[in-house]
C-alpha cells in the first residue's frame, strides 16, 4: 500500500461503532468507523477480511450498505461501497439530531432536552 493518497473525495473523520457482516457468514462484527465518504469508509476491528471480499455494514441513519474490501493493514481496512451514500446522514444521526432507528417526530422530540429549562426569567 502506498503512503500517497490519490483520492479526490473528502473523507470526514469519525469515531462511530457499526455492525459488519462478511459475505458467506451470518456473524456480525462490531467495528469502529474511522472515516467516511460517499464512496467508502475506513473501519477498524478484529475482523478477518481479505482484499476484494464482499461485506455489508450497518450505518446509522442509512441502514445496511454493501461494499467490498479495498485494502487491509493490520486491524484497519477500507471498504468501497457498491453505491454512493449520503455520508451527511450518518453524521447527523450520530450528532443526536436524528436518533438511530427512530423516525417518528414525537419520539425525536421526547429525546431532546426541553429549551424551557435553558430560558432565564427577566
Please indicate, yes or no, whether the overall pTM of this predicted structure exceeds 0.75. Answer: no
Q: How open is the CA angle 37-7-9, to the nearest 5 degrees? A: 35
Nearest to 17, CA basis, from 64, 74, 77, 57: 57
Task: Say if residue 4's pLDDT is above 70.
Answer: no
Mean pLDDT score of the chain? 77
- CA dist 35 and 48 (Å) reads 20
Higher pLDDT among residues 18 and 99, named by residue: 18
Dist CA 13 CA 30 (whole Å): 18
Angle of CA points 22, 18, 50, to nearest 5°: 30
pLDDT tens-digit profile of 26-66? 899 999 999 999 999 999 999 999 999 999 999 988 999 99
SS3 116: helix
Domain 12-118 belongs to what topology?
A: Thrombin, subunit H (2.40.10)
Contact in structure between 50 and 41 (CB atoms under 8 Å) = no
Amino acid at each position: 500500500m502506498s503512503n500517497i493518497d490519490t483520492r479526490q473525495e473528502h473523507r470526514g473523520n469519525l469515531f462511530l461503532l457499526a455492525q459488519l457482516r462478511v459475505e458467506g457468514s451470518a456473524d456480525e462484527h462490531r467495528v469502529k468507523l474511522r472515516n467516511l465518504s460517499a464512496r467508502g469508509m475506513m473501519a477498524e476491528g478484529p475482523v478477518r477480511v481479505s482484499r476484494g471480499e464482499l461485506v455489508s455494514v450497518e450505518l446509522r441513519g442509512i441502514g445496511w450498505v454493501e461494499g467490498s474490501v479495498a485494502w487491509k493493514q493490520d486491524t484497519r481496512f477500507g471498504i468501497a461501497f457498491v453505491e454512493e451514500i449520503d455520508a451527511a446522514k450518518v453524521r447527523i444521526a450520530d450528532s443526536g439530531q436524528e436518533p438511530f432507528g427512530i423516525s417518528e417526530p414525537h419520539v425525536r422530540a421526547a429525546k431532546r432536552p426541553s429549551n424551557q429549562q435553558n430560558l432565564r426569567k427577566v
